[in-house]
Structure 1
Amino acid sequence: MLTPGARFTWWQATPLVEQEYDVADAPMDGEMDSTFFLTKDKNIIPHTYPCRTAYIGDVRDREPEPAFAPDWSTARNVLPMGSAFLDLSGFWYRATRLGGWARTAVVSHTAGAARLGLSAAGAAKLFVNGTAAGWLAPARRNAADTVEIDVTLAEGVNELAIWFEDLAERDAVVRLELAWLDGPEAEAAIPFDAPRATVAAVASAIEAMHLDAKHYAGEDVWLDLPVPFPGPVTGTITVAGDFMAHDAQHFPLEIAAGAARAKLCNSAELRADYRYFHFDLSCNGFSTQATLGAEIVGAHAPAPATLAARIEEALDWIARNAEDDTQTALACLDRGTPEALDRADAIIAHELGGIERCHDCADFALVPLIWGRTLYGDRIRSALRDRIDAAMLSYRYWMDEPGNDVQWYFSENHALLFHTAAYLAGLHLPDATFARSGRTGLAQSAAGKDRLDGWFDHFEAAEMAEFNSAPYFPIDLKGLTALWALAPDADIKARAGAAIARLVEIVANSAHHGVITAAQGRSYEHTLCTTTTMELSGLARLLWGLGGHGAHVNALAEVALALRDHALALPALAARASWPDDGTAQEWRFTQGRVGDAPFARLYHHKTSETAMGSAARYRWGDWGYQETLIHARIGRDPRAQMWINHPGEVKQSGFGRPSFWGGSANVPRVQQYRDLALVLFAGVPPQLDFTHAWFPTPVFDDWSVDGQRAAARAGDG
């Protein structure tokens, strides 16, 4: 029976109808906001783009009208998987207006009045048995409001259908929640055209199924099924990287009725990276979806003994094995073989589309492209060179230039790349006119230099609010190495070199045998659950002969080229990054970021040859979190033997929430660490989830035990 507060969790959802939401080009006010995730309103990002302002004017507090009637034959079936809401979140590179239908059902034992609670961020309208019952239209970004709606139910099955819409800007949290508040005796029903027993059996199988490992190095990938499916399963598996990934692979799915496991593919066929396995499956006439994740580790011989050899290894590996990205194109241009140059041309032609349209994260692609155009222009087809130059002239380099994009200007890493791109593109095209600013290239470069000076002032005073960040340190190195290699101004080059050396020192201090092990200011599932395929591990292999390479690269080719061709010299930190001495330990305290005159993050790290742990002390105790991982540890020398504790921001695994299931914490814990001992105290509040959990990978430990809420493990001598 439904009780007050119960959520409806069985849903059908029609395909989203998407239309770019372009407003008139206009400048924005604002500057870099290094601590943009510090908000008074939970963890809701405060900055508002012109498209959101226009959308609010179009939608807020206006009764939504469906743009089309639902065709439920096209709908997908969404199982609860523990979640209280329907989650259609994702990532859109430009402002995009979304619309669609979703439905669930309720069985009322008698006819009568009921009250429901409807929550949405954009706009939503509830229909009961086809009749409009109520609506809300807050038009807020990634933050839902709730309205209570009085409805009349018929005896028996009642369809509860919702027309919804939203504006997606980059990462968009698109969720619908429908709660039972009051009414006659009733129970939730399934909206699917399938027997309830079949649906329940499929749901049980999916909830229990898992990959047979979280890390693969050439082995077959098997799906373990502790609860077998009720019949034969057919479908497809799409294997892809994170939301920024550039490629995907597809495999057929066949599972025999009652099977306890099924082979999916061989991991040697997959890119070395954290990969998501997206299942689209059908069993006994019922179709649904699921997602699981695992790290794919490529085959690596021991790292070459010399830095020169490791540089060539890195460039070769990237050119042949990395994802289709302009960083890969840069490595291909350097290799210069016909095959490599063909790949570079194909990558550049594809990536230019996002730059020309000012997609979010186009700055990530533009900086390596400027490097390639500047130093390897003779290896790029003339028509493609012209297109690159035209893209540089039409691009939006900062928010004070007119545009209608949703590029993220505010974080430290993006700001650095925008200013780097403006500075270098202006130098490359000194006499041309940059369309959005109206400046000549020399003036555009001068504006970029002024902003770079401000960025370096910030860095030299505060360093990184995105502290120890495995995903974002490579982005910072992307910009800094480009400046080191290409800047004609001695002061910019010197400041970039010092910043590179400092970030590399932080990585060395925070690494354990070449794999970063530390509290992180921003993190994701796909960066926490990886080991030797994260890019900072590739950096450790390049610099110190530790770690391995992964397919997702943002800076590694640039670092290699800066070392080989541009006299970048870095301190010898191999022993510190590995810490091989059994009889000693490193205890390290440092601060990152600033809020006013106070340090933002006070960081503590302790490691021996067999243990490492890092944490953030006195950091925002009890606040709503964003993407921070506040405690992280490893034991032994197997990089997979890692642990962390977090307070999930959502129940859905592999979701788009910030915080997510593994990345970040809904409630920021109090952490106190002394050497290899730490105390972690969470104090969550509704509507945050009522549990915390630990990443505790038992298959990689030599010994382990779990007794209630107590766990212990040994790996190697740790």
Structure 2
Amino acid sequence: MTTGKNMLTYSPLQLRHRVINRWLLSGILTRKVRFEPMTMEGDINDWLIKGFSIHENPCRKEFVGERRAAAPELPFAAPPALGEGISLWESEARWNLYFPWGNSRVEASGFYYVPTHLLRYAYTVVVSPAAHKATFNLKTCGAAALWVNGRLACDFTPFTRNIEQTTQVEVELRAGENPFFVCHEDLAERDTLYHFTLEYAGSEPIEIQIPLTDSEPAEAVAGMEQALGRAYFPKDSVKDEELRIIFEASFNRDLTFDVTYNSFFDGRYSIRRELKAGQQHLVLGHTNEFGVDYKYFELSVQVGKATIRKPFGIEVYNTRFQPHNGEAMTVEERKRVALECVAALGIPNIHTAIAKLKTGGAPEIARDMILEGLAGIRERRDCADFYLIALFRFWRDYRDSGLFDEDFWAQIKRTVLGFRYWIDEPGDDVMWFFSENHALLFHSCQLLAGQLFPDDLFTNSGETGAQRKRKAERQLTGWFERFFAEGLAEWNSSAYIPIDFLGLIQLYDLAERPALREQAKQAMDLLYSYMTAEAHGGYLTSTFGRSYEKELMGNHAAGTTSLIWVGYGAGNVNSTSFNVSVCLSDYTPPQAFAERLKLNSEEELEFRLEQGKDGYAKLFHYRTSSYVMSSIADFRAGLKGYQEHVLHLAFSPEAQVWVNHPGEIYAHGSGRPSFWAGNGCLPKVGQYKGLGILLFDIDPDHDAGYTHAYFPAYAFERVESRGSWFFGERNGAYAAVYAQNGLELTQEGTNRGRELVSKGRRNVWLVRAADRQEFGSFEKFIESMLKMPIEASAEALRVRLADFVYGETSFGWQAPLTVNGETVQIKDCGVQGRLVRKGRVASHI
């Protein structure tokens, strides 16, 4: 990149993907759209194996048909100017510079709760040294129309939801400046990948020029972009302390940052923070101000008319409600503490409103939260079922309390009677029905609504409540049959186990049919069985069928953490509002399971189980008193991944290690898979006790031609880097990570000091955990790993090694994991799993 007084200039030939990813962007113009209500059909769990695109919402077909029938138009007579306004429909935006932060795409992916038409324009200038015919690859999620020098060069409308498609475009470039315009649009349906890429395939030394105004010198814009790109949080989790973003160098003037923040299920809040000249630490606030949550912060700073925004993520945790010894309390006492924590710190929603009422909070505050929740349910926002489910308990407990007027109760009743309860009812919403947790909640809501209003007409289906109830009882019977046969399709998911509890606890407390109440109890007992067998120190640090950054890096704030603490006192209490109903129920998890959470230094625990349709998830979990390693064996190796988290090593809530292929190449994006959660391309995984092996064969067309490990050096007492190895010690337990293609610790930016990068699309990774019981000292552990005979081939995707404790081990893309000549298998375990606790043999190393 070079700079001029009023121009930023870039050369795409210097970029790895040769992309034109510097633009003026209009901002996203949106309109909510309505369609002919339609029904849907399909198996609720097939998408986890076949891909989410197998369920196309009928409203999408209508939208795509209309767009393809209309020729795109370019509504600009002159080039746009930075800071200039633009409006369409009833939406307004301003032209601003696009800052990719390492992303090869022009990205604006996000989550939209209702069907939303997205449209944005992009403008740049391509400077060519000579007139010639140039070839570009245009890639998009959605549709992209391209104009060059005022002429429509391409109108590409694949509209395959969340699946990028590519076309090749040839354009005539003239010598000198060539204005490029793009119109990029799509229909947003909940999680929405919304991006385009224009990749230059020629050899001429073209440049990209971005016009600025006189108010922002190019050097100032480039300097601020560089400063924000290198800024970082020193840790990914903070407790009882200030939140500080660190800049590598101070500024010579005072700066004002507009900061917005939100959590996954909460709205966006704004604050303003000052950074004084000469200071490097921008203080965002104290953890006491933000509750217990994983928060996404966006820093925004003005340079003339340019607005530069950069996202950051961090877990915030305060111990205000944490008792000194939770294990010494009764379950009921812990439930009360958890309720008080949610009431004080929970994000505003219907569950938190109930917690406030149950702990003596003001009824008017609870009323406002519930009314806001009702609006989302009536709008049929995605995840509306997560909140509707709480209204039936609320109705039972407060209908006759006299706290609320009749109009309020009438609004609740109208909302319940007007809801869409399943895919066989007509709708034009984008509520997601195709997962076990959503299916359970929709069926449970329908049952409880039918019970509550048996003689009333449900307007969306035209059926009475009694009919709704009978239908829901059949659906729930089928759901439980499948659950007890297959377990969790979204295995171990720390994000969705609390959502399953949302439905199960209401059935246990409110269902009229005794069989459903008993099945709900059995299901909750089984989920507690999984959590207690797999949790380490009260935290479910494990392989996950669906994962998010917020749980992977936010163990203190995870919903499963709260469930485990309420049940057994291990770990910590938090403000997860989805667990309110568990705290209000008389359900008590099996107390005998508490022993599973405890191991002494001479014990080890192995847990093998099979989950999902036809047992596709074959899971192995190994735990000692000092660490835990968990994985899924040989799951769809080489195929495109989603949110599957395939191997995890943890010593504490912060000191944890995993390896993945990033689904997107910049941190804190909205992709599924994302940078740290899931895999762009799934590896083949094998595990034997504290040894994990991952073999990667990455799609050559994927943006990320590398793999990486999360290894937060700050969370370990000591770390050592030795060639292709990286080591860490935490409280007498040890971690070793090896990559055949070498390792490099990231030294700047968001992932400074916590990311180990290994280049190459084919690679062999080893993850080894141990402790004093096996190796005595950290030094002996390092020495043993470095001396361990390893024959690894990234090209052939195979490895053979002689572990000093476990023995001869081999694994390959076409070969199973073997240890001392015996194949390591996970079979005949079923959904109940096979749990073995036994003594450990001390090493003589």
Note the alpha carbon deviations across 1:185-222, whole angstroms, 9 max, x for none. 31233354454433332222122110132211221221
* Whole-Å separation in 2 of the counterparts to 1:49 and 1:359: 15
The correspondence of residues 421-432 of structure 1 with structure 2, limited to 5 A, is 421-432=445-456
Please state if 1:46 is matched with 2:54. yes
Query: Which amino acid in 2 is paired with 1:601?
Result: A
Q: Structure 1 residues 58, 228: closer, same or farther in 2, change over 3 A? A: farther
Alignment of 1:41-80 (within 5 A): 43=51, 45-60=53-68, 63-66=71-74, 72=81, 73=84, 74-80=94-100
Q: Cα deviation per residue 1:221-259 (whole Å; 9 max; x = unaligned)?
A: 2111125568653230112112x22x4432213334564
Specify the alignment match of 2:821 in structure 1.
none
For 2:48 and 2:151, locate their aligned partners in 1 and report how far apart those are by CA, in whole Å.
41
The answer as to whether partners of 1:212 and 1:221 remain within 8 angstroms in 2 is no
Q: Does 1:122 align with 2:146?
A: no
**Which region of structure 1 is more displaced relative to structure 2, 150-159 or 304-313?**
150-159
TM-score, length basis structure 1 = 0.94
1:286 Cα deviation (Å)? 3.8
3-state SS of 1:516 partner: coil
Indicate whether 1:328 and 2:347 are aligned. Answer: no
Are the aligned partners of 2:12 and 2:20 in contact in 1 as well (CA < 8 Å)? no
1:353 aligned onto 2:380: no
Distance 1:537 1:685 in 2: 36
The secondary structure found in structure 2 opposite 1:621 is coil
Match in the other structure for 1:33? 44
Identify the structure with bigger relative contact order (alpha carbons < 8 Å, sequence gap 6+).
Answer: 1
- Provide the secondary structure at the position in 1 that maps to 2:55: coil
1:687 paired with 2:701, answer: yes
Mapped contact 2:19–2:199 kept (Cα < 8 A): yes
Aligned to 1:642: 656
CA 1:369 to 1:257, structure 2 compared with 1: closer, same or farther past 3 Å?
Answer: same
> Mapping of 1:395-406 within 5 angstroms?
395-406=419-430
The amino acid that maps onto 2:696 is: F
Is 1:497 aligned to residue 521 of structure 2?
yes
Q: CA deviation at 1:327?
A: 1.7
Q: 1:695 to 1:410 in 2, by over 3 A?
A: same
Q: 1:478 to 1:75 in 2, by over 3 A?
A: same
In 2, the alpha carbon distance for the partners of 1:413 and 1:172 equals: 20
SS in 2 for 1:157: strand
User: Are residues 316 and 2 of structure 1, via their aligned partners in 2, closer, same or farther at CA, if it must alter by over 3 Å?
Assistant: closer
Q: Indicate yes or no: 2:658 matched with 1:658.
A: no
Instruction: Report the CA distance between 1:13 and its aligned residue.
Output: 1.5
Are positions 1:97 and 2:117 aligned together? yes
* Aligned pair partner of 1:390 in 402, 414, 420: 414
Q: Which moved more, 1:152-161 or 1:209-218?
A: 152-161
> In the alignment, what sits opposite 2:808?
none
Paired with 1:191 and 1:608, the residues of 2 have a C-alpha distance of 60
Q: Secondary structure at the match of 1:625?
A: coil
Identify the match of residue 583 of structure 2 among 541, 544, 560.
Answer: 560
Alignment match, 1:478: 502
| Whole-angstrom CA distance in 1 between matches of 2:76 and 2:407 | 43
The answer on whether the counterparts of 2:17 and 2:104 sit within 8 Å (CA) in structure 1 is: no
Is structure 2 residue 696 aligned with structure 1 residue 673?
Answer: no
Q: Compute the RMSD of aligned alpha carbons.
A: 2.0
Q: Given residue 731 of structure 2, which amino acid in structure 1 is its aligned partner?
A: G
Change in CA separation of 1:258 and 1:161 when aligned onto 2, cut-off 3 Å: farther
Q: How does 1:495-534 map to 2 (within 5 A)?
A: 495-534=519-558
Whether 2:206 is the aligned partner of 1:186: answer: yes
The DSSP-based 3-state class of the residue aligned with 2:555 is: coil
Are residues 1:589 and 2:604 paired?
no
Residue number in structure 2 paired with 1:615: 631
Aligned to 1:10: 22
For 1:253, what is the secondary structure of its paired residue? strand
Of 298, 302, 308, the residue aligned with 1:278 is: 298
The DSSP-based 3-state class of the residue aligned with 1:573 is: helix
Q: Deviations over 1:119-174 (max 9, x none)?
A: 22322211224433322111221123223222233433333221121100111111
CA distance in 1, matches of 2:589, 2:634: 36
SS in 1 for 2:283: strand
- Report the Cα offset of residue 574 of structure 1: 2.1
Give the conservation status (yes or no) of the 8 Å contact 2:338–2:574: no
Given that residues 628 and 664 in structure 1 are in contact (C-alpha distance below 8 angstroms), is that contact kept between their aligned partners in structure 2?
yes
Q: Is the alpha carbon distance of 1:68 and 1:360 closer, same or farther for their aligned partners in structure 2, counting shifts above 3 Å?
A: farther
Q: Residue 213 of structure 1 corresponds to which residue in structure 2?
A: 235
Alpha-carbon offset, residue 292 of structure 1: 0.5
Structure 1 residues 317 and 267: alpha-carbon distance in aligned structure 2, compared to 1, 3 A threshold: closer
Matched pairs, number: 700
Q: How far apart are residue 561 of structure 1 and its match?
A: 1.6
Distance in 1 of aligned mates of 2:32 and 2:245: 38
Partner SS, residue 446 of structure 1: helix
The secondary structure found in structure 2 opposite 1:533 is: coil
The answer to whether the 8 A contact 1:113-1:183 is kept is: no
Instruction: Give CA deviations for 1:529-556 in whole Å, capped at 9, x if unaligned.
Output: 11211111111111111222333432x2
Which range moved further: 396-405 or 1-10? 1-10
Measure the CA separation in 2 of the matches of 1:343 and 1:68: 48
Contact 1:61 1:136 in 2 (8 A): no
Q: Which moved more, 1:393-402 or 1:225-234?
A: 225-234
The amino acid of 1:321's aligned partner reads: L
Distance 1:230 1:203, change over 3 A: farther
CA contact (8 A) 1:7 1:179 kept: yes
What letter corresponds to residue 167 of structure 1 in structure 2? Answer: L
Q: What is aligned with 1:455?
A: 479
1:696 and 2:711 aligned: yes
Distance in 1 separating the partners of 2:590 and 2:353: 25
- 2:170 paired residue number: 150
Q: Contact 1:208 / 1:227 at 8 angstroms: preserved in 2?
A: no
Residues 1:344 and 2:366 aligned together = yes
In 2, the alpha carbon distance for the partners of 1:131 and 1:707 equals 56
8 Å CA contact 1:587, 1:606 repeated in 2: yes
Provide the rounded CA distance (Å) in 2 between the counterparts of 1:113 and 1:623: 36
1:423 Cα offset (Å):
0.3
Task: Compute the TM-score of the two structures, normalised by the length of structure 2.
Answer: 0.80
Give the distance between the partners of 2:17 and 2:528, measured in 1 at CA: 51
Q: Which of 164, 168, 183 is 2:188 aligned to?
A: 168
Conserved? CA contact 2:639–2:681, under 8 Å: yes
Contact kept in structure 2, 1:253 and 1:281, CA below 8 Å = no
In the alignment, the residues of structure 2 paired with residue 90 and residue 349 of structure 1 have an alpha-carbon distance, to the nearest angstrom, of 26
Partner Cα distance (2:612, 2:74) in 1: 46
Alpha-carbon deviation of 1:314? 1.1
Which whole-Å CA distance do the structure 2 matches of 1:484 and 1:428 have between them?
A: 16
Tell me, what secondary structure is at the counterpart of 1:471?
coil
Q: Secondary structure at the match of 1:467?
A: coil
**Aligned residue number for residue 732 of structure 2:** 717
Deviations 1:307-337 (A, max 9, x none): 22111111111122111122212222333x2
| Alignment CA distance shift 1:634-1:183 (3 Å) | closer
Counterpart amino acid of residue 440 in structure 1: T
Counterpart residue number, 2:34: 22
Amino acid of the residue matched to residue 48 of structure 2? Answer: F
In structure 2, relative to structure 1, the CA distance for the partners of 1:65 and 1:183 (3 Å cut) is farther
| Conservation of the 8 A alpha-carbon contact between 1:618 and 1:671 | yes
Gaps spanning 5+ residues in structure 1: where?
none
Q: 1:36 to 1:701 in 2, by over 3 A?
A: same
Counterpart CA distance in 2 for 1:443 and 1:699 is 58
Aligned-partner Cα distance in 1 for 2:385–2:675: 28
1:439 aligns with 2:493: no
